[in-house]
Amino acid sequence: MTEKRKAPGRGLKPLAILTALTLGTAYGMVFFWTPNEADQGFVQKIFYLHVPMAIVTLGGFILGGIFGFIQLRTGDRKWDLRSYVAIHLSLMLALGTLITGSIWARASWGHWWVWDEPVLVSFLIVFLLYSCYQPLRFSIEDPDKQARYASVFAVVAGAFVPMNFAAVRLAQAYTHPRVLGGAQNSMPGSMQITFLLAIVGMTLLYATLWKFEITSKTTRMQLGSIKRRLERDNPGSPA
Q: pLDDT of 53-74, one tens digit each?
A: 999 999 999 999 999 999 999 9
Task: Characterise 181 by phi-psi region: left (phi > 0), alpha (psi -120 to 50), beta (else).
Answer: left
Whether 10 maps to a domain, the answer reads no
* Residue 229: inside a domain: no
- Binned at pLDDT 50, 70 and 90, residue 175 comes out as very low
CA pair distance 148, 138, nearest whole angstrom: 12
**Which stretch of 11-25, 96-110, 157-171 has the lowest confidence by average pLDDT?**
157-171
Lowest mean pLDDT across 44-48, 88-92, 155-159:
44-48
Tell whether 71 is covered by a domain. yes
Report the domain count for the chain.
1
84 pLDDT exceeds 90?
yes
Computed over every residue of the chain, the mean pLDDT equals 84
Task: Say yes or no to pLDDT of 4 above 60.
Answer: no
Distance CA 149, CA 132 (A): 12
Q: What pLDDT is recorded for position 42?
A: 80
Cα 163–chain centre separation: 18
Biggest CA–CA distance in the chain, Å, is 76
- Domain range spanning residue 157? 15-32+40-175+189-217
The pLDDT assigned to 109 comes to: 78
Q: HSE-up of 19 (CA within 13 Å, CB side)? A: 17
Is residue 98 in a domain? yes
Residue 47's alpha-carbon distances to 70, 164, 183, 189, 228, in angstroms, are: 34, 21, 18, 16, 50
Q: Cβ–Cβ contacts within 10 Å for residue 137, how many?
A: 19
Residue 237 domain-assigned (yes or no)? no
Q: Whole-angstrom Cα distance, residue 206 to residue 64?
A: 13
- Has residue 223 been placed in a domain? no
If you average pLDDT over residues 79-105, what whole number do you get? 93
- For residue 199, what pLDDT is reported? 95
Residue 48 lies in a domain: yes
Q: How confident is the model at residue 3 (pLDDT cuts 50, 70, 90)?
A: very low
Q: Report the percentage of the chain scoring pLDDT > 70.
A: 81
pTM of the prediction?
0.84
The answer to the question of residue 227 being in a domain is no
Give the pLDDT score at 2.
44
